[in-house]
């Protein structure tokens, strides 16, 4: 009987010791790893550039880019850069966006429109990856301008960052929702 009490007390102590604030779990998706070279006086220096998107699947998303001498370090550095660039945006009950929006970055323009429930993510390339990681389930997207994967991902992130809800707009205009 005493042994059982001692074991249960040990497990309680370990539980208390291990209880630390845990960071939320993020979904990580690699958009592209490319080999880049820099020409120096001594010759060409090769390195790798990674583009990574992270999100919690519930309205948070970040796009990160980094370069390193090997692929693994480029991925890790891009992941930490994406954590620094996290944005939060509103989702509707049907896991869509609240209204039409156009995201711009560089020469890229991304048109995002809410879609009826069950239609899925109708988008391609980097736009699809960003929207899936962000947790958007029903949306129609059109990519205009450049086909650059990084700029398209950042344009999508920019568009999501500018989304607002009806309550936020009414608060800005000092109106009452009835």
For every residue of 52-108, DSSP letters joined together read: EEEE-SSSEEEEEEEEESSHHHHHHHHHHHHHHT-EE----TTSS-SS-EEEEETTE
Using DSSP's 3-state secondary structure scheme, residue 145 falls into strand
Q: Is the dihedral of CA 27, 147, 141, 156 positive or negative?
A: positive
**Cα angle value 30/35/39 (rounded, 5°):** 145
Question: Which pLDDT value is given to residue 8?
Answer: 53
Residue 67 pLDDT: 96
- Report pLDDT for 143: 95
Residue 23 DSSP SS3: coil
Quote the pLDDT of residue 4.
54
Three-class secondary structure of residue 3 per DSSP: helix
pTM: 0.82
As a whole number of angstroms, the distance between CA 165 and CA 169 comes to 6
With contact defined as beta carbons under 8 Å apart, do 69 and 77 qualify? no
Which domains, from first to last, does the chain contain?
27-161 (3.30.230.10)
Regions in the chain scoring below 70 on pLDDT: 1-24, 178
Distance CA 162, CA 57 (A): 18
């Amino acid at each position: 009987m005493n042994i059982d009490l001692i074991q249960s007390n040990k497990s309680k102590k370990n539980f208390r010791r291990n209880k630390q604030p845990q960071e939320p779990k993020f979904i990580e998706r690699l958009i592209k790893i490319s080999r880049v070279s820099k020409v120096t006086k001594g010759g060409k220096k090769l390195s790798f550039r990674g583009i990574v998107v992270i999100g919690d699947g519930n309205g948070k998303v970040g796009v990160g880019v980094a370069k390193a001498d090997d692929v693994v370090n480029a991925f890790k550095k891009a992941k930490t850069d994406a954590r620094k660039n996290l944005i939060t945006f509103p989702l509707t009950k049907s896991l869509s966006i609240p209204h039409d929006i156009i995201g711009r970055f560089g020469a890229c323009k991304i048109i995002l429109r809410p879609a009826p429930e069950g239609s899925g993510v109708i988008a391609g390339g980097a736009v699809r990856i960003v929207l899936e990681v962000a947790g958007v389930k029903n949306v129609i997207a059109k990519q205009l301008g450049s086909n650059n994967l990084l700029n398209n991902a950042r344009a999508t992130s920019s568009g999501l960052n500018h989304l607002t809800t009806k309550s936020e707009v009414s608060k800005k205009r000092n109106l009452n929702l009835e």
